[in-house]
Amino acid sequence: MELGELPRRPFRRAVVTGGAGFLGSHLCERLLDRGTAVLCLDSFVTGTRANVEGFRADPRFRLLECDVTDALPVHGPVDLVLHFASPASPADYLRLPIETLRAGSLGTMHALDLARAHGARFVLASTSEVYGDPLEHPQRETYWGNVNPVGPRGVYDEAKRFAEALTTAYRTRHGTDTAIVRIFNSYGPRMRPGDGRAIPTFIRQALRGDPLTVTGDGRQTRTACHVADTVAGVLALADSRCAGPVNIGGTRETTILDLALRIRELAGSRSPVRLVAAPVDDPRTRRPDTSRARETLGWTPEVPLTRGLRETIAWFRDRLGDGTVPEGASPVGA
Ligand SMILES: NC(=O)c1ccc[n+]([C@@H]2O[C@H](COP(=O)([O-])OP(=O)(O)OC[C@H]3O[C@@H](n4cnc5c(N)ncnc54)[C@H](O)[C@@H]3O)[C@@H](O)[C@H]2O)c1
């Protein structure tokens, strides 16, 4: 066995940027469960302290408020850097276009510099949005994408494409131990009900009896992946020697209209469906080819959509209206 193929030692201390967000907080929690100490860096631009409340008291967990586009104030050893800080929902990045470009460029550079200085493993949270409105279906990692750089979504898509190029350059130029994960629509507890993404929007509307605002004709497709599966995929990549990019996402494609109807049924709601204008450059189709994740990492998603949605609806039902979950922005699409 080559040295590069030897299994890694368990990570002792991880830095998670954006660790108070939806995915970041689940990653922090899972890392703590596995025995890794965690330093969470977050500016709270879209994340909340409530997301980390459940493990805040763990002595191996530290939360530091900072903007990673300024600097990463990290002291002590680090052997894993997970760079997840970035506005992620369309409503957030349309509201924060420059901040999003800064997170993908300056934020990624600072996170890479930290990993390089410590000889740490680095994982970039990239996205299916690098494929834009894809002309290849399903999307394999070899597909270069169809992105409009000057459209409204360009601030997010191009920030992530730049971040991927920068990550690759640190690997080839500096030998930094990098990996890129392209995450497809993930869902689960700790999403904000008003963050504008399709699943939390439909759940909030269904639970309140408001009309379900389905964008376009509702026939555009997405694949939903439960956050437990997403986190397992990200950590499998971190544990591996693989540089990626690797797609991590659900494998069952559903139309947005079917998703809305399924959520309405599971929530026991009688909300009507209302078709509203589709956002500019909204992708028509979206489904990952996950062969690379399966073959290289032994990863496949396990949580069935109905079970995952039921659990997520229950989580929202417990919190909506009691003030513990911020409403966030208005719905703009998946
Ligand atoms: N959730 C998904 O389905 C999905 C899909 C593809 C990619 N991603 C990527 O995963 C990451 C996390 O997404 P999420 O869904 O958890 O979003 P989120 O908005 O819940 O989390 C992002 C976190 O980053 C923090 N943040 C943003 N800019 C920052 C900055 N400059 N400095 C410090 N902290 C900052 C926010 O406060 C928030 O806590 C993002 O990079 C996103 O692009 C997510």
Which protein residue's CA is at the shortest distance from atom 7 of ligand 1?
A: 127
On whether residue 299 sits in a domain, the answer given is no
CATH code, domain with 85 = 3.40.50.720
87 lines ligand 1 (CB under 6 A): yes
Residue 276 in domain: no
Secondary structure (DSSP) of 147-163: --TTSTTHHHHHHHHHH
Nearest-atom number in ligand 1 for the CA of 18 is 24
Q: Is residue 149 part of a domain?
A: yes
Evaluate whether 131 touches 148 at the Cβ level (below 8 Å): no
H-helix segments, the chain: 22-33, 90-95, 97-102, 108-118, 154-169, 198-208, 227-239, 256-266, 291-292, 305-319
**Averaged over 175-193, what is the pLDDT?**
96
183 lines ligand 1 (CB under 6 A): yes
Please work out whether the CB of residue 85 comes within 6 Å of at least one atom of ligand 1.
Answer: yes
In a domain, 293, yes or no: no
The response to whether residue 155 sits with its C-beta less than 6 Å from ligand 1 reads: no
Is there a domain that residue 191 lies in? Answer: no
Q: Which of 310, 201, 302, 307 is nearest to 256 (CA)?
A: 201
The catalytic residue among 93, 156, 170, 187 is: 156
List, in order, residues 6 or more apart from 40 with CB less than 8 Å away.
16, 19, 20, 24, 28, 52, 61, 62, 63, 64
208 domain residue, yes or no = no
Q: Global pTM?
A: 0.94
Asked whether residue 255 is assigned to any structural domain, the reply reads no
Nearest-CA residue for atom 12 of ligand 1: 84
pLDDT single digits (tens) 233-277: 999 999 999 999 999 999 999 999 999 999 999 999 999 999 998
Asked whether residue 29 is assigned to any structural domain, the reply reads: yes
Output the pLDDT for position 332: 36
Q: How far apart are CA 123 and CA 23, in angstroms?
A: 13
Helix axes 227-239, 22-33, angle to 10 degrees: 60
Question: Sorting pLDDT into bands at 50, 70 and 90, what band is 5?
Answer: low
Domain count across the chain: 1
Please, what is the average pLDDT of the chain? 92
Q: What is the pLDDT of residues 113-146, one digit of tens each?
A: 999 999 999 999 999 999 998 899 899 999 999 9
Which of 111, 94, 123, 168 lies closest to 31, judged by CA?
Answer: 123
Q: Is 223 near ligand 1, meaning CB less than 6 Å away?
A: no
Token reading at 186: 């993930």
Q: Which tokens sit at 258?
A: 């079917």
Helix or strand (DSSP H, E) at 124: strand 121-127
The answer to whether residue 7 scores a pLDDT higher than 80 is: no
Question: Rounded to an integer, what distance in angstroms lies between the CA atom of residue 28 and that of residue 61?
Answer: 8
Query: Taking 50 as the threshold, does the pLDDT of residue 328 lie above it?
Result: no
Q: Which atom of ligand 1 is nearest to the CA of 156?
A: 43
> Running DSSP on this structure, what letter comes out for residue 77?
-
Q: 3-class DSSP state for residue 102?
A: helix
Looking at residue 329, its pLDDT comes to 39
Query: What is the residue range of 124's domain?
Result: 13-185+226-248
What pLDDT score does 322 carry?
Answer: 53
CA of 84 to the centre of ligand 1 (A): 5
Ligand 1 centroid from CA 296, angstroms: 25
Q: How far apart are CA 179 and CA 124, in angstroms?
A: 6
Whether the link from the prior residue into 288 is cis, omega within 30° of 0, is no
